[in-house]
């Protein structure tokens, strides 16, 4: 079956612009995570969605970051007024429920000039 | 102290050798432990879960030491294709957040 997909695969933007990243999880996976990975670093938790429950946004680094998910389907991560320090790979993962194996998408490589 | 700590390496190991690395975690309430593998510029993929009794999958053996709060990964008869970064992952106590180590880079040389 299809895995987790993310788009775009690469995004180059100018400082101050807004960007929107998309994640399509595996069908039937109720949980969805967004992570950020800077070069040579581990994964930094951003936000977690579980079904129709309120998302855990505790990892979002600033109010410029927001994410939405409709039911158990597509999720979008929006970064407003991008800064150079936002440059990283943004990874999305889905799982049947928390504590289980996370399946990752290929990531979106964001470069802010 | 970081919540999950790993030696960043790189570990340069000849093909066929055995290599082991550890990962320490700070939250004594953690219940779920995993090793993920990440190839260069690729997404992480699950290598194996780590069970209390330890577990083995082919050339790979994972162990958990709750008293000292670390998990280990042993790779026997290493292959060139084992070259990757190995990420240690621990759940944040009783909740769903997974805390990721920065990874240990392994380079297998012919």
Chain B residue nearest residue A50, CA to CA: B96
pLDDT at A98 over 70: no
Q: Cα–Cα distance between A102 and B12 in angstroms, integer? A: 29
Please indicate whether, in this complex, the C-beta atoms of B44 and A91 are within 8 angstroms of each other.
Answer: yes
Please indicate whether, in this complex, the C-beta atoms of B103 and A104 are within 8 angstroms of each other.
Answer: no
Cα-to-chain-centroid distance, residue A25: 11
- Residue A24: name the closest of A70, A81, A89 by CA: A70
Please indicate whether, in this complex, the C-beta atoms of A42 and B102 are within 8 angstroms of each other.
Answer: yes
What CA–CA distances, in Å, run from A49 to A36, B97, B101? 16, 11, 22
- Residue A102: name the closest of B49, B39, B17, B50 by CA: B49
DSSP state of A71: T
Q: Cα–Cα distance between A80 and A48 in angstroms, integer? A: 19
Provide the β-strand partners of residue B38.
B85
- One digit per residue, the tens of pLDDT, for chain B of length 110 reads 678 999 999 999 999 999 999 999 999 988 889 999 999 989 999 999 998 888 999 999 999 999 999 999 999 999 999 999 999 999 887 667 788 999 999 999 99
Q: What is the pLDDT of residue A77?
A: 98
A24-A30-A36-A39 Cα dihedral, nearest 10 degrees: -80
Indicate the SS3 state at residue B80. helix
Q: Which residues of A touch B103 (CB under 8 A)?
A: 42
- Please give the radius of gyration of chain A, using alpha carbons only, rounded to the nearest integer: 13
Q: What is the pLDDT of residue A41?
A: 85
Q: Which residues of B touch A43 (CB under 8 A)?
A: 44, 87, 100
Question: If you write DSSP's letter for every residue of B28-65 in order, what string do you get?
Answer: TT---EEEEEE-TTS--EEEEE--TT-EEETTEEEEEE
Provide the β-strand partners of residue B6.
B23
| A:80-99 residues touching chain B, CB 8 A cutoff | 91, 98-99
Q: What is the pLDDT of residue B97?
A: 79
């Amino acid at each position: 079956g299809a895995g987790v997909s993310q788009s775009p695969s690469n995004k180059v933007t100018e400082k101050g612009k807004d960007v929107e990243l998309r994640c399509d999880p595996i069908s039937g996976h109720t949980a969805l995570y967004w992570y950020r990975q800077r070069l040579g670093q581990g994964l930094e938790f951003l936000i977690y969605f579980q079904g129709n429950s309120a998302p855990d946004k505790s990892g979002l680094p600033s109010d410029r970051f927001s994410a939405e998910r409709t039911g158990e389907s597509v999720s979008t991560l929006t970064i407003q007024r991008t800064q150079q320090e936002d440059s990283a790979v943004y990874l999305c993962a889905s799982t049947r429920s928390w504590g289980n194996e996370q399946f990752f998408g290929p990531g979106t490589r964001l470069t802010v000039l | 102290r970081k919540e999950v700590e790993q030696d960043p390496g790189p570990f340069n190991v000849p093909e066929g050798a055995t290599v082991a690395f550890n990962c320490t975690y700070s939250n004594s309430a953690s219940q779920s432990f995993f090793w993920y593998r990440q190839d260069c510029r690729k997404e992480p993929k699950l290598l194996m879960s780590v069970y209390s009794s330890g577990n083995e999958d082919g050339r790979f053996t994972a162990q958990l030491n709750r008293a000292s709060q670390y998990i280990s990964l042993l790779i026997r008869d290493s292959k060139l294709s084992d070259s990757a970064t190995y990420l240690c992952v621990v759940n944040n106590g009783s909740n769903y957040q997974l805390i990721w180590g920065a990874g240990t880079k392994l380079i297998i040389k012919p």
